[in-house]
Amino acid sequence: MNKIKIVVAGCSGRIGRILLENVQKSDDLILHGALDHTGSKLMGRDAGEIIGAPCGVKVTTDIASALQDADVLIDFTRPEGTLHHLSFCQKLGIKMVIGTTGFNAEQKEQLRTASKNIGMVFSPNMSVGVNLTFKLLEVAAGILNQGYDIEIIEAHHRHKVDAPSGTALGMGEVIAKTLGRNLDECAVYGRSGVTGERDPSTIGFATIRGGDIVGDHTVLFAGTGERIEISHKASSRIPFALGALRAARFLQTHPAGMYDMQDVLRLK
């Protein structure tokens, strides 16, 4: 059996390290390339040294070289970096698994355009559990569509640079779509001072940043006399990496196009 050749972008990052470890453990995947930022202390060294298991793949900034003859690039970096990698993947016909968050509307459109030529799994959260939660929210929103106020509360570590999280926004989009609303028009991202009564058509977001919280998300449906809460709490980043590897396997049997983890898990 031919192994799927994986390139990891941001290999020294939190998710990058976990990806390296789990690719090494896998029977059907092989590390083909390892990319990191300019100035990384790991530059030129064996990527396996990061996890204590040398593998013969050198950490580099040479994107074209790392991607040559690869199957899939897995990218959990920043929007600017991901789009830079995207240009090379398009030229070389390399599939992409993108877990990067914080893209604006124009950048998302660039991804959609590129997906006409290469297979791409793009999801605000690669966790299997989170994507099951998306499906549960779709069901809940369809039933609790009258008389319930909706609030999304998310908490992450102090180093996270975007807010609300991509996962929280993804939850909001699932709910808004189910209710026939436009999230851009009904989202409320902060409240302060005299706000007046709550508009029942809005979806509220609350953001917490502190410590080393990996990722907590709760959607509150608050009705009269009862509350329904649907929560997902991550205690480590391993589920994100395992989901990304599952997405890489999915791409091997699917044509060019834009997919998400709902496609990968057959939840649509």
- Please say whether the beta carbons of 67 and 43 come within 8 A: no
pLDDT given at position 4: 98
Catalytic site residues? 156, 160
Rounded-to-5 percentages of helix, strand, coil across the chain:
35, 25, 40
Residue 173: pLDDT band by 50, 70, 90 thresholds? Answer: very high
Q: Examine the domain organization and report whether 13 and 115 are in the same domain.
A: yes
* Residue 146 confidence (pLDDT) above 80: yes
Q: Which domain holds residue 87?
A: 4-122+237-264
- Which CATH number goes with the domain that contains 179? 3.30.360.10
pLDDT score for 101? 87
Q: Decide if pLDDT at 39 tops 90.
A: no
pLDDT at residue 241, as a whole number: 96
At 52 the pLDDT is: 82
State whether 11 and 118 are in the same domain: yes
Q: Which long-range contacts (C-beta less than 8 Å, at least 24 apart) are formed by 253-260? A: 254/119, 255/119, 256/115, 256/116, 256/117, 256/118, 256/119, 257/115, 257/116, 257/119, 257/120, 258/111, 258/112, 258/115, 258/120, 258/122, 259/119, 259/120, 259/121, 259/122, 260/121, 260/122, 260/123
Predicted confidence (pLDDT) at residue 38 exceeds the cutoff of 90: no
Out of 39-43, 45-49, 177-181, which region has the weakest mean confidence (pLDDT)? 39-43
Q: Are residues 214 and 185 in the same domain?
A: yes
Asked whether residue 1 carries a pLDDT value surpassing 90, the answer given is: no
Do 158 and 116 share a structural domain? no
Kindly state whether residues 115 and 241 are assigned to the same domain. Answer: yes
Say if residue 112 is in the same domain as residue 245.
Answer: yes
Distance CA 116, CA 195 (A): 44
Instruction: Summarize the confidence of residues 223-229 as an average pLDDT.
Output: 98
Q: Which of 88, 24, 33 is nearest to 58 (CA)?
A: 33
Q: Does residue 222 share a domain with residue 140? A: yes
Same domain, 104 and 175: no
Chain-wide mean pLDDT for the chain?
A: 95
Domain match, 58 and 80 both: yes
- Residues 58 and 92 occupy one common structural domain: yes
Reported as a single tens digit per residue, the pLDDT across 65-96 is 999 999 999 999 999 999 999 999 999 999 99
